[in-house]
């Protein structure tokens, strides 16, 4: 494959990453709309906004490169596990009218896996030769060095780590709420009230 073909292939992959981040932003925004706890809703919206920011940044990087004949249909295969997780969550969340406290623990654990998978994907991407190819192409066009391009991806990696921390915070908040409910009414656990939608 010629260098120009490599750059076009990379451009298509980055477009897929942008689309993936957009889907992730929509997932978190949808979840936030189904959560009653104000702080948890805010944390979900923060992750949604970060994912939207990543989508815009990645689209800008892809648009800087030579145009690729990429199609959105190939993105699930290119992105892999992360795409599958977001698709499954989107279907699961669409079926729920509200997200209960109990749902939040399970969802925060699953979403932590998603954020970990994506952080790992970006880490691999930064360490591969493809990033050097990307940096060289952007430097040729804009006279911007590779470190500037790396900084965009390192920023996304830091955000993915921060998202995992936020999801852990959500889990801790739920545990605190559960303890409050148990103090107020010790029979709550046996009556299954924690599993009801609040």
- List, for residues 31-43, the tens digit of each pLDDT value: 999 998 899 999 9
- DSSP single-letter state for residue 125: H
- pLDDT value of position 181: 63
- Average pLDDT of every residue of the chain: 82
Contact 89, 95 (CB under 8 A): no
pLDDT in tens, 105-140: 888 888 888 888 888 888 877 776 666 766 676 677
Q: Which two tokens stand for residue 69?
A: 């004949």
> Is residue 174 over pLDDT 50?
yes
- Domains of the chain with CATH codes: 3-195 (1.20.1260)
The CA distances from residue 37 to 40, 62, 84, 158, 184, in Å, are 5, 37, 28, 26, 18
Residue 192, Ramachandran bin (φ over 0: left; ψ between -120 and 50: alpha; else beta) = left
**pTM over 0.85, yes/no:** no
**For residues 141-172, b (16+ Cβ closer than 10 Å) or e, as one string?**
eeeeeeeebbebbeebbebbeebbebbeebbe
Per-residue pLDDT averaged across 1-20, rounded?
A: 78
Whether 162 has a pLDDT exceeding 80, the answer reads: yes
Between the ranges 37-41, 145-149, 184-188, where is the mean pLDDT highest? 37-41
Nearest to 40 by CA among 167, 196, 175: 167
Residues contacting residue 33 through CB under 8 Å, at least 6 positions apart = none
pLDDT over threshold 60, residue 192: no
Evaluate if residue 1 carries a pLDDT over 60. no
């Amino acid at each position: 494959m010629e260098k120009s073909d490599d750059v076009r292939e990379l451009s298509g992959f980055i477009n897929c990453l942008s689309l993936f981040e957009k889907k992730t932003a929509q997932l978190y925004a949808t979840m936030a709309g189904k959560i009653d706890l104000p702080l948890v809703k805010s944390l979900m919206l923060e992750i949604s906004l970060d994912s939207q920011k990543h989508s815009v940044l990645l689209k800008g990087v892809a648009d800087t490169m030579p145009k690729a004949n990429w199609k959105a249909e190939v993105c699930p295969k290119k992105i892999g596990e992360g795409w599958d997780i977001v698709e499954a969550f989107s279907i699961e969340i669409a079926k729920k009218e509200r997200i209960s406290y109990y749902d939040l623990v399970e969802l925060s654990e699953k979403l932590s896996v998603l954020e970990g998978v994506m952080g790992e994907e970006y880490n691999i991407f930064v360490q591969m030769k493809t990033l050097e190819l990307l940096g060289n192409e952007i430097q040729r066009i804009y006279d911007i060095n590779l470190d500037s391009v790396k900084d965009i991806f390192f920023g996304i990696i830091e955000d993915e780590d921060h998202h995992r921390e936020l999801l852990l915070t959500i889990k801790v908040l739920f545990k605190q709420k559960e303890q409050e409910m148990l103090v107020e009414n010790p029979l709550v656990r046996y009556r299954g009230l924690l599993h009801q939608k609040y």
